[in-house]
Amino acid sequence: MNQRTCLSVILAAGEGTRMKSALPKVLHQIAGLPMVAHVVKAAEAAGAGDLALVIGHGAEEMRKAAQKFAPEAEAFVQEKRLGTAHAVLAARAAISKGYDDILVMFGDTPLIDPDALTAARLKLAQGAAVVVIGFRTANPTGYGRLIEKGGKLVAIREEKDCSDEEKKITFCNGGLMAIAGSQAMKLLDAVGNRNAKGEYYLTDIVELASNQGLDVVATEASFENALGINNRAELAQAEGIWQARRRHEAMLSGVTLIAPETVYFSHDTEIGADTIVEPNVWFGPGVKIAGGARIHAFSHIEGAIVAAHCDVGPFARLRPGADLKQKAKVGNFCEVKQAVIEEGAKVNHLTYIGDARVGAGANIGAGTITCNYDGYLKHFTDIGEGAFVGSNSSLVAPVTIGKGGYIASGSVITESVPDDALAFGRARQKTIPGKGKELRERFASAAVAKKR
């Protein structure tokens, strides 16, 4: 198998009008990744060395997106939509290169398991000319039936063309197919369009191959593998299935999810064993959580790195560039962006730290903010090891708080503070005896007068 060359032809030219969206259907996301990118990842995991992406609607947008998730893919444009076989033949130049295996996949089936593709390729290696991936369902209504005789697949019959006996078949067409490269062009070119719609159907190659005495077989996968997305309700369904799979994987790998159904992962979330995730946590793209961390409830984490034994939340937000070192703490209602929180440092509550470094063991008091933006440029705040920043302080960047520095509560710091220095940046308090009573009486009289 490993020696066999493989091309994956991914059909992604559909307009997806039922999505009611200006965005091409296959670019709608599951777990933060376009659904067609999930298909690409599955193909690559199944050993597809090369990719042919057949695009149509939103071609330029598709080309641009593909540069991110499939930079090596060759794009082919299907100018007219004349059926699935016609779409595959848009990639004629790639198919003709002489691959051992051709996988035909759909860009709107994001839940395909690489194992299902590998099983189909194995059948090709064993001599099959065409392999159809099917699924079984107790309610086959609406699906094309896989007609088998003597262990061979002889036809794919659309329900409207099925006999009463064939309608009882519960083995249905999943749409995904593997074709021997040596037979692919001959079979595809033989597909005709003598049907009600005048289109060229990929499924016709099953009967064509069978009539030529070639081996045609079906392999079985779960229904989820063939789940196509046509509208936003189905998109949400697929998201739910993907998340359930990922949560299950996480828990089996040693992660505690206290309320699994409330935790949402992204396609690339990495999370280490012995981490505990409380309810209602959202992991956006680019998150890496080391083992032994605790992520408290209602936290939102994206593009962040969290080291071992860190403590995050509840109600914390880690934005892209947040980098928490071992045993760091970011507490409730804190936001960290493009900042390093060094080992053992604490940012406990009601605080914003952006474009900054918080040194090891430093303590940041409640209500502290790094004033990092002047309306035009971002500036850096460096807080030294063991520093103490009192509550309700504003650190106006660029500024440095030295190692062991101490910032008095309520300060606005605009100048750097040396190591071990104490800095005040606030007005001197003045207390006037009796003035409070006088003000209350004056304000009360004014309020009464206003009502008259």
Tokens found for residue 280 = 């209602």
Q: List 51's β-bridge partners, or say none.
A: 8
CA distances from 264 to 166, 270, 311, 410 (A): 42, 12, 19, 38
Tokens found for residue 422 = 């104490």
- Active-site annotation holds for 38: no
For the chain, the residue count is 452
Q: List 306's β-bridge partners, or say none.
A: 289, 324
Tokens found for residue 16 = 């997806």
Do 247 and 269 form a contact (C-beta atoms < 8 A)? no
381-383/399-401 β-pairing = parallel
Helix axes of 181-190 and 204-211: crossing angle, nearest 10 degrees = 110
Question: Which of the following is catalytic: 267, 309, 349, 379?
Answer: 349
Contacts of 107 (CB under 8 A, 6+ apart): 10, 11, 12, 14, 25, 26, 35, 36, 39, 53
Q: How far apart, in whole angstroms, are the C-alpha atoms of residue 417 and residue 403?
A: 9
Contacts of 343 (CB under 8 A, 6+ apart): 307, 325, 326, 327, 328, 360, 361
Residue numbers annotated as active site: 349
